[in-house]
């Protein structure tokens, strides 16, 4: 069996050389990071390999079971969650006053990557728990913070996010769950679906963060409030008193991520309503969700490439072992290991190059998130905030779309063995498929990118980032190293395409918003490959300079080769996206809705 090994060297390189962990560690409150980040990588890698990875296959096979409202998680999950909490992983980004370690978001990049690569079903628990902690930390009262957060950090309790309802998926304006004031609390009634770890056996209490409407709330997005609705009620001393009126009505049978239960939750089924506590101000629930959204979308972006990285490792291992067919380029008929076949090698390089670009762009964005929160200079904070806002839909959309495609590539390398569940690679193919959907589908990310990030500020942020990338690409294209020059030139082309297409969309948005949105997904992908290419080009330049200065680490030569492959195979997609957007946006809405079914009924010939 394949064992996950975190790509620690690449993580180290990206954190230090590309994302600037040294700068982040200078931010107020993050001073400890400088000393501990490398040991955190080491320990997290060991935890992922030693504790989470061995549970991944069994969790997929066994899944979760639902009997009489109770959910049993896969064997070992409960113990693993305790170990995870005890090791301090839940508290990594949580302030020390609530029992956390107060470390930068940047370190969430590699740690989330390791948890999700080794066991995405398990990792979804801490991910949603983190969301609940952040929500309370962000807008809860001091009393709420003290009452709920420490137990969520210690692993004694877990947290969930209850947003979706059958009629309210992408469109949270349609939320119907009701909250009626009743003394110091509210009574909640309604149904939520797709609730990750909504019910389970890993902790003594579950703290649900629930979106609901007050009786007098305005319609739409501005009438939704946020509530804490615990599974078990807790008294002022933090002791559990009795069960709240919250039940799990069932769990979904899903394509993948079978390790985590996906629950239908019913509030107030037994009587007048479940006890809930308003978090922050009334009617501002969706606004709070939007503030937290950057972190959540970033996390799912990381999931996308993390699962793909696991698949890549597995396919690499298989390609190095499986002997089949002779080398087509020689007369020798002896079968060779399939990694020696050009097409298999291309599939491995395709995975490797894309993965390294996604990792680099994700960590780089996470560093910017830290700078946007903590930098002492407001101007710097603002600039980073604008960059992060632009980049989050790109990280989420591109890394997950790419992740789905890469897992399919990894499976392909296994041939027939990839299609049987025995090998394990099919699990990654099934697991990763959720990532382009939850926390906002790729279409929603692209709408956000074009509508909120490009058009709303008239392209100002996009132009700034494009100029920054262009400045660097010109430096690379004028470098002394021939490979860096080639990479820089390919990047320049991609940037020019991005600039041209951005302008085209901006101009067309004036006349016909539908046309501007029609190819928003190819536009998002163009941003992804270009920004990823920028990071790969930066990596190549740094690597070339290390080599030139006498550094003998072979990692650097491999980085240049990988970046060069990225430039010729990945960056070149821009030529297609451009034509699709500029030539093709007008062709998206022209077929009338009713014409879609004209292919059905035969014409009676005379």
CB 368 within 8 A of CB 381: no
Distance between CA atoms of residues 72 and 63, nearest Å: 9
Burial of 239 per CB tally in 10 Å (0-12, 13-18, 19+):
exposed
- Judged by CB under 8 A, the residue of 451, 457, 485, 547 near a second copy is 451
Report 401-420 residues binding a second copy (CB under 8 A): 404, 408, 411-412, 415-420
DSSP class of residue 213 equals B
- Residue 174's φ and ψ, nearest 5 degrees, are -90, 10
DSSP class of residue 73 equals P
Least separation in angstroms between residue 476's CB and a second copy is 17
The span of 79-87, 130-138, 165-173, 208-216 binding a second copy (CB under 8 A) equals 165-173
CB 537 within 8 A of CB 470: no
Total interface residues for a second copy by CB under 8 A: 120
464 or 573: CB nearest a second copy? 573
Could you tell me the two tokens for 578? 């451009």
- Judged by CB under 8 A, the residue of 68, 142, 422, 480 near a second copy is 422
Neighbours of 78 (CB within 10 A): 15
Neighbours of 204 (CB within 10 A): 12
Buried b (16+ CB within 10 A) or exposed e, 150-164: bbbbbbebbbbbbbb
- Judged by CB under 8 A, the residue of 75, 243, 342, 500 near a second copy is 342
Q: What is the largest CA-CA distance in the chain?
A: 86
- Judged by CB under 8 A, the residue of 75, 222, 345, 471 near a second copy is 345
- Judged by CB under 8 A, the residue of 521, 539, 543, 544 near a second copy is 521
Burial of 590 per CB tally in 10 Å (0-12, 13-18, 19+):
exposed
Report 462-491 residues binding a second copy (CB under 8 A): 490
Helices (H), 140-246: 142-154
602 binding a second copy? (CB under 8 A) = yes
568 binding a second copy? (CB under 8 A) = yes
40 or 136: CB nearest a second copy? 40
The span of 360-368, 370-378, 422-430, 536-544 binding a second copy (CB under 8 A) equals 422-430
> What is the rounded (10 degree) CA torsion for 193, 199, 203, 207?
40
49 binding a second copy? (CB under 8 A) = no
CB 265 within 8 A of CB 208: yes
54 or 419: CB nearest a second copy? 419
70 binding a second copy? (CB under 8 A) = no
Measure CA 487 to chain center. 27
- Judged by CB under 8 A, the residue of 441, 496, 506, 547 near a second copy is 441
208 or 564: CB nearest a second copy? 564
Report 7-26 residues binding a second copy (CB under 8 A): 7-10, 12
The span of 201-209, 269-277, 371-379, 573-581 binding a second copy (CB under 8 A) equals 573-581
Neighbours of 356 (CB within 10 A): 25
59 binding a second copy? (CB under 8 A) = no
Distance between CA atoms of residues 269 and 487, nearest Å: 61
550 binding a second copy? (CB under 8 A) = no
Report 193-252 residues binding a second copy (CB under 8 A): 193-194, 220, 252
Catalytic position from the list 79, 401, 439, 470: 439
| Alpha carbon separation from 440 to 290, 293, 300, 461 (Å, rounded) | 12, 10, 10, 22
Neighbours of 364 (CB within 10 A): 25
Closest alpha carbon to 464 in 379, 396, 390:
390
601 binding a second copy? (CB under 8 A) = yes
331 binding a second copy? (CB under 8 A) = no
Report 258-317 residues binding a second copy (CB under 8 A): 262, 316
446 binding a second copy? (CB under 8 A) = yes
Q: Say how many CA atoms lie within 13 Å of 331 toward its Cβ.
A: 0
- Judged by CB under 8 A, the residue of 99, 102, 443, 506 near a second copy is 443
434 binding a second copy? (CB under 8 A) = yes
Least separation in angstroms between residue 180's CB and a second copy is 25
5 binding a second copy? (CB under 8 A) = yes
558 binding a second copy? (CB under 8 A) = yes
Question: Is 23 assigned a catalytic role?
Answer: no
Over the window 244 to 263, marking each residue x when it contacts a second copy by CB under 8 A and - when it does not, the resulting string is --------xxxxx-----x-
Least separation in angstroms between residue 273's CB and a second copy is 26
The catalytic residue positions are: 439
């Amino acid at each position: 069996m394949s064992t996950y090994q975190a790509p620690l060297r690449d993580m180290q390189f990206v954190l230090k050389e590309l994302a600037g962990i040294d700068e982040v560690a200078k931010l107020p409150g993050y001073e400890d990071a400088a000393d501990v980040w490398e040991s955190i990588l080491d320990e997290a890698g060991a935890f992922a390999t030693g504790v989470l990875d061995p549970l991944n296959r069994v969790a997929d096979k066994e899944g979760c079971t639902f009997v009489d409202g109770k959910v049993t998680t896969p064997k070992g999950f409960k113990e693993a969650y305790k170990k995870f909490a005890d090791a301090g992983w839940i508290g990594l980004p949580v302030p020390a006053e609530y029992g956390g370690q107060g470390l930068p978001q940047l370190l969430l990049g590699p740690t989330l990557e390791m948890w999700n690569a080794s066991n995405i079903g398990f990792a979804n628990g801490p991910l949603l728990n983190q969301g609940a902690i952040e929500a309370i930390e962000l807008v809860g009262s001091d009393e709420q913070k003290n009452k709920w957060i420490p137990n969520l950090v210690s692993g004694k309790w877990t947290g969930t996010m209850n947003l979706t309802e059958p009629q309210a998926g992408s469109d949270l304006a349609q939320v119907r769950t009701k909250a009626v004031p009743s003394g110091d609390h509210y009574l909640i009634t309604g149904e939520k679906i797709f609730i990750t770890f909504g019910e389970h056996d890993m902790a003594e209490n579950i703290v649900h963060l629930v979106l609901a409407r007050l009786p007098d709330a305005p319609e739409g997005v501005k009438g939704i409030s946020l509530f804490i609705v615990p599974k078990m009620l807790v008294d002022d001393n933090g002791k559990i008193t009795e069960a709240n009126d919250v039940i799990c009505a069932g769990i979904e049978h899903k394509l993948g991520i079978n390790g985590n239960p996906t629950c239908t939750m019913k509030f107030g089924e037994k009587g007048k309503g479940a006890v809930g506590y308003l978090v922050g101000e009334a009617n501002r629930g969706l606004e709070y969700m939007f503030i937290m959204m950057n972190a959540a979308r970033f996390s799912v972006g990381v999931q996308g490439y993390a699962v793909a990285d696991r698949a890549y490792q597995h396919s690499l291992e298989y390609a190095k072992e499986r002997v089949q067919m002779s080398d087509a380029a020689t007369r020798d008929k002896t079968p060779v290991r399939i990694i020696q076949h050009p097409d298999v090698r291309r599939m491995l390089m395709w995975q490797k190059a894309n993965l390294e670009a996604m990792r680099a762009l994700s960590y780089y964005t996470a560093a910017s998130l830290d700078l946007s929160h903590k930098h002492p200079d407001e101007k710097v904070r603002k600039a980073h905030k604008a960059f992060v806002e632009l980049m989050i839909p790109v990280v989420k959309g591109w890394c997950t779309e790419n992740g789905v495609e890469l897992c399919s590539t990894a499976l392909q390398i296994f041939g027939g063995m990839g299609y049987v569940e025995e090998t394990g690679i099919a699990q990654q193919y099934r697991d990763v498929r959720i990532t382009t959907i939850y926390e906002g589908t790729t279409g929603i990310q692209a709408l956000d990118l074009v509508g909120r990030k490009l058009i709303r500020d008239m392209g100002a942020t996009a132009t700034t980032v494009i100029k920054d990338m262009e400045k660097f690409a010109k430096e690379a294209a004028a470098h002394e190293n021939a490979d860096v020059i080639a990479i820089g030139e390919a990047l320049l082309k991609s940037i020019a395409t991005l600039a041209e297409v951005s302008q085209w969309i901006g101009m067309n948005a004036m006349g016909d918003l539908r046309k501007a949105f029609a190819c928003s997904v190819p536009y998002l992908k163009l941003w992804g490959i270009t920004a990823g290419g920028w990071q790969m080009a930066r990596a190549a330049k740094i690597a070339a300079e290390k080599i030139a200065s006498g550094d003998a680490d072979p990692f650097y030569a491999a980085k240049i080769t990988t970046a060069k492959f990225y430039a010729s195979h990945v960056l070149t997609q821009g030529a297609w996206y451009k034509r699709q957007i500029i030539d093709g946006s007008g062709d998206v809405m022209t077929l009338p809705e009713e014409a879609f079914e004209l292919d059905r009924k035969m014409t009676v010939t005379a």
